[in-house]
Amino acid sequence: MASIVFAGIGGQGVITVATIVGKAAVADGKNALMTELHGMAQRGGRISVELRIGNYESAIIPEGKADAIVGFEEMEAARNVPKLKENGIILVNRRRIHPVTLSRTVQEYPQLKVEEILGKYRTYYIEADAKALELGNKKVVNTIMLGALYSTGLLNLNEQTLLRVLEESFDERYRMINSNAFSAGKMLVGQEITSTV
């Protein structure tokens, strides 16, 4: 059983990754519940998706019960920490995007506050943007984050099943790059642990 919060900004592929994991769980013979809870899935807007794999009655993760937060953007990861259980983990892409809410009010990005919040948890910073550029396609950041999540062992899914669903989710032209991105993401977590509580 696993409860995971995927958080980011619209346009980062947050829903895509959560959907891939959910489909893979079902294909692997497990129950999966998913819900989009906050924000609009539009470019620049906050978005949070909660996914639960196992015999849960509700897709909504109670506060303090998430096994992991997968943050596609640093502030959105920090915003969702109330959901995380005491010994849960945070995987966060090293990316700072000024959300629409900050842009409208001309506020500074609260970097020090974000770092303070994330520093209280077992946080792994993932250089997904840099790796995506290295692979030649900045759009595979979400697949890199998927690989990072898979490497934690939390999903408890058959890797071949997950890879099959991943491949089926993209046009044939992008299957190889996404497969490579998934493999690259699996290698990043062990290198990037920053704190343990």
Mean pLDDT by 10 residues, the chain (197 residues): 93 91 96 79 75 94 97 93 96 74 60 86 93 94 96 94 95 93 89 39
Measured CA to CA, the distance from residue 100 to residue 104 in angstroms comes to 6
Domain-by-domain residue ranges, the chain? Answer: 2-186
Report pLDDT for 192. 45
How many angstroms separate the Cα of 185 from the Cα of each of 31, 60, 178?
25, 27, 10
**Topology of domain 2-186, per CATH?**
Pyruvate-ferredoxin Oxidoreductase; domain 3 (3.40.920)
Report pLDDT for 191. 47
Report pLDDT for 100. 55
